[in-house]
Amino acid sequence: MASSVASRIKAALAVLVKGDNKSKELSVKSGVLYDIYGREILDGSDYFHPNQVKGIPVFDTDSVLEQHRGYVKEIERICGVGDHRKTNDGKELRKELFEMVVRRFIEYVHLLPASESHHHSVPGGMLIHALETSSWSLRSAKNVRPATSGRLDVDKMLEPSYRYAAWVGGLMHDIGKLTSDMNVFAVSTYDKETKTNKKVSDIIPHWHPEKESLITWAKRYDIATYSVSFKGDRIHNQHNSVTSSLMSPILGDGVALDRLLTSLLTFTMS
């Protein structure tokens, strides 16, 4: 009697195991993958060839800035502009010179890589590289001086503009790659009715930095995620010759641009 019961239990367990294995086989075939512990790996297909391009989400500017707030705080700490100083219209000068410029910079570079397979080739690499380089440039400008004007008082008055120019140069030194080295294209769009992402089905133009920021482009076409490919015919260091084309929209038309364009020497010597 006991052996009969045991054999029945054993047979029942065998059926259950067989059924479970069959269920897993069907799951694998339908795209669900498991690790050696039987756990479902939701993004498992990402590790198999061919890789699926999911794209980079179009995070809003505030979210990207907050993830890099530490860099901005360090720049503000060493910039030499006190938080008590104001613009003519009552805004905080330091914020307008640095944080607002970084905000506009983010609207263009967003989470793009700085290179294809060289330095900072990961999503967000260009922004991190730019913030690190601009901070280093600002520090260096405190210790390295340009050629003297021959007048100590004028040299002293020009120092803030010189230091700011060094910071802007560090921040912007690779931004020409957006036009010379990369193609940025939509991967998915946002469906406002279902509030979900869907693969791009219509023809959406690649992003043109000369026309608008990446954020503006994404909003224009309801883009939810994007990706980047590097041009096969790009010329090494060509980006250096087109950097100036994007300076105006990033610096804006306020105090940041004025700080670079206004020459105290002109007023002093006239």
For the stretch 96-134, pLDDT in tens is 999 999 999 999 999 999 755 566 567 889 999 999 999
Rounded distance between C-alpha atoms, residue 126 and residue 239, angstroms: 13
Q: Higher pLDDT residue, 48 or 6?
A: 48
Q: What is the pTM of this model?
A: 0.77
Beta bridge partner(s), residue 246: none
Q: How confident is the model at residue 156 (pLDDT cuts 50, 70, 90)?
A: confident
Q: What is the pLDDT of residue 31?
A: 66
Whole-angstrom CA distances from 57 to 36, 46, 111 are 31, 16, 9
Task: State yes or no: pLDDT of 204 exceeds 50.
Answer: yes
Q: Residue 16: which pLDDT band, with cuts at 50, 70 and 90? A: very low
* Banded pLDDT at 48 (limits 50, 70, 90): confident
Task: Cite the DSSP H helix spans in 55-119.
Answer: 61-67, 69-78, 93-94, 100-109
139-154 pLDDT, tens per residue?
998 887 777 777 777 7
Q: What is the per-residue pLDDT for 15?
A: 46
Q: Round to whole Å and give the CA distance between 95 and 76.
A: 8
Candidates 164, 188, 55, 182; CA nearest to 109 is 182
For the cut 80, the answer to whether the pLDDT of residue 264 exceeds it is no
